[in-house]
Amino acid sequence: MYDDDQIRDFLVGVGDEITDTMGKLIEDEQFAGIANLLIYQTATGGKRLRPALAILVTQALGGEKEETLELAATFEMIHQASLAVDDVVDGDFLRRGKPSTPAVFGMAAAVMGGTTLFSLAIKLGLDKNVAIGRLLSDTLVKMATGNSEEILVQKKYDEDQYLRVIKLKTASLFKAPCQMGAIISRSGELQILAAKTYGENVGMMYQVADDLVDVLKTKTYEKPIGDMREGKITYPLIHTYKNTQRDDIKKTIDAFRKKKQLSQDDWILLFDSMDKNESIKATEELITRYRDQAIQSLGVFPDNEYTQMLKILPDYMKNAILSEVPKLSS
C-alpha cells in the first residue's frame, strides 16, 4: 500500500517530466517570438495532477509511460492556458504567489498565449491520434461552455446548475486524461468507461473541495478570502439558502452574491446559519460521495501498483486541499 510520501514523490517526478516535455514542445521555431510568454504560462507550478492521471491510467491498464508522456503534457498545457485566461477574466495579478501571466505580459498577450497553447494541444493530439485530437477539442468546448455558463447563467441558488458548471469547466479536464490513458493502452469499452467515470468523479470531488476551502478559510480567519471575496455562490451557500427559513439570512446571501460589503455581524449570521443547517457537513458528504464513486469505478481495472495509487489518490488530493485550512488539517 502506498502512503502520502510515495504519492507525493510520484507526483513530483511526473511533474518534472511534464515540465521538461512541455518545454521541448514549445521550442519550435514558429514560437520563437512568444517563447517567453509560453514558457511562463506553462511553468507556473502546480502538482500536474491531470497528466499524472493520464500516466497512471495508462500504466494501470498495461500501457507504457513513454507512449503517453507527450499526450499527457497536452492536458497540462490546456490547464495552464485556462488559468491564464481565468486570470484575465477575473483581473487577478497573482497566481500561486507570483505575478500572473496578464500581470507580466498584459491582458491581450495572456489571452493570445492561452489560445496558442489550446491550439497547439489539439494539433499535437491530432498528430498522434485522431481520437485523442477529438477528445482534446471536445474537452476545450466543455471547459469554455462551463466557464461561460458560470458568468452568464443567472440561476442564483440552483444546485443542479452549480454541479453542471463544475462538471464542464473542471471535471472534464480530469475525465479526459483518464479516458486518453485507457485509449492509449488499447483497453476495451468497459475499462474506458470506468476510466472516464473515475476521472469525472475525481474532478467533481476536487472542485467541490476547492470551493469549500475558501468558505472555511473565511470562517477561520474572519475575513473574506478567494471565492468569498468575489461573491461566488458555491455548494455550502446554495445549501444554506435552500434550507434556511429566515428572510434575513437569504437577504445576506443575496447581498454577498451581489458583492456588497458585509459587516462583521453579517458574516457571523451567515456562518451561524451554515452551522445550523449543517451546510459544511453536507458539502463534506458530497465530496466523500464523489471520492467513493471514483474508487468504486476502478473495480474493472487489473490489480497492480498503479491501480492502487489511483485508489488512494482521491484521498491524497482531498486532504491536500483541505489542509490549507489550519483547523481541518488534523
- pLDDT classification of 326: cutoffs 50, 70, 90: confident
Cα–Cα distance, 309 to 302 (Å, whole number): 12
Q: Tell me, what's the pLDDT at 231?
A: 87
**Rounded Cα distance, 74 and 89, in Å:** 23
Task: Determine the pLDDT at residue 43.
Answer: 80
Q: Classify domain 4-328 at the CATH class level.
A: mainly alpha
Contact between residue 191 and residue 300 where contact means Cβ atoms under 8 Å apart: yes
Q: What is the mean pLDDT of residues 112-119?
A: 92
pLDDT at 266 over 50: yes
Give the model confidence (pLDDT) of 186-217 as tens digits. Answer: 999 999 999 999 999 999 999 999 999 999 99
State yes or no: pLDDT of 44 exceeds 70. no
User: In angstroms, how far is the first alpha carbon of the chain from the final one?
Assistant: 22
Q: Which residues pair with 95 in a beta bridge?
A: 98
- Report the run of H or E that residue 113 belongs to, with start and end: helix 107-128
Tell me which residue of 87, 71, 84 sits closest to 113, measured CA to CA: 84
pLDDT class of 327 with cuts at 50, 70, 90: low
Give the strand pairing for 98-99 and 94-95.
antiparallel
Based on DSSP, count helices (H) and strands (E) in the chain, helices before strands: 16, 2
Model confidence pLDDT, tens digit, residues 147-179: 999 888 766 789 999 999 999 999 999 999 999
Residue 31 pLDDT: 86
Q: Does the pTM of the predicted model rise above 0.75?
A: yes
